[in-house]
A = this chain, B = another copy of it.
Amino acid sequence: MKNNIKFENIAIIGLGLIGSSLALALKKHKIAKSTTGYAKSAKTRQIAKKLKLVSKVESSLEKTVKSADLVIICTPLSTYKTLIGSIRPYLKVGAIISDVGSAKSKVMADAEKILGNDFDFIPAHPIAGTEQSGPEAGFSELFINRWCIVTPYAHSKKKNIILIKKLWQKIGSSVEVMTPEHHDRVLAITSHLPHLIAYNIVNTAADLETVTKSDVIKYSASGFRDFTRIASSDPTMWRDIFINNKEAVLEMIGRFSEDLSVLQKAVRWGDAAALFKLFSGTRKIRKKIIAAGQDIDTADFGRVKKKLK
């Protein structure tokens, strides 16, 4: 990496799983001469200091952004509007704003209205994370060999797009540039719908627990368990994603429900041929995912070594 992508000061707003991981990765790869971290909660700031996530921890947004040539927003999508309005007066001339959010079109339209042409907002979305949250869940390797999608405006400065691309590449990611609309559709099917479905099935099972007592918990290894992991992701983050990617998500729910009705009918009529066909095609997708390096084909037979309760 050339020195010209080294930043003077990078401000990270929000020090949850992604913010803290990003801070650690920037530090490890010396992407900036200094980093400033902002967290709303005193407890998070205390942990951030203890873990030395950033050069300086701040409780004031003004102090956080005033020296930054790059500000990366790592807070839930619902905070963007107020947050961007609050930092706007204190931004350095020529400062780049970026983020790590999971939905793009809506927040980009909002940000454009607030920032005008004075500042360049170059959004990014690292396809990385775990089901855990908070500043202590972060680790610098989180982005290695993961995709990061950058979704500039049509009018974004090329120079700034390249800076953001290089930053993510430097901390280990492969970067793709696409329109926010395309991003939102792709993520709706690969991420947002799967999470919605996982949350939904866990809730369906929870209601049923009164019928089968603790059986749902006890026999969860037979499939259900995997959904509960996905459905234990941060509820605030996910609430905001569904509010900010409504149209694409509703389209995918519609398609999913249509397909489920077909499957339901095949079960009701005992249509063995239709069921077999529907269950066979899915293996091909799995093979492509493994070939693309997005998963490994080692059999997963449960990660439990403890005695059963």
Is the C-beta of A200 less than 8 angstroms from some C-beta in chain B?
yes
Chain copies in the assembly? 2
Is the C-beta of A4 less than 8 angstroms from some C-beta in chain B?
no
One of A49-57, A87-95, A275-283 at the interface: A275-283
Determine which of B223, B246, B286, B298 lies in contact with A190 in the assembled complex, contact meaning CB atoms within 8 Å: B223
- Is A235 within 8 A of B189, CB to CB? no
Q: Is the interface of A mostly helix, strand, loop or mixed?
A: helix
- Is A203 within 8 A of B259, CB to CB? yes
**Residues 141 to 175 of chain A near chain B (Cβ within 8 Å):** 142, 145-147, 149, 174
Max chain B Cβ within 10 angstroms of own Cβ: one of A192, A230, A259: A259
Determine which of B174, B253, B305 lies in contact with A145 in the assembled complex, contact meaning CB atoms within 8 Å: B305
Max chain B Cβ within 10 angstroms of own Cβ: one of A129, A224, A243: A224
Hey, which bits of chain A sit against chain B, CB under 8 A?
78, 127-132, 137, 142, 145-147, 149, 174, 176, 182, 185-187, 189-208, 211-212, 214-233, 235-236, 238-239, 242-243, 246, 249-250, 252-253, 255-257, 259-260, 263-264, 266-268, 270, 272, 275-276, 278-283, 285-286, 288-289, 291-296, 298-309
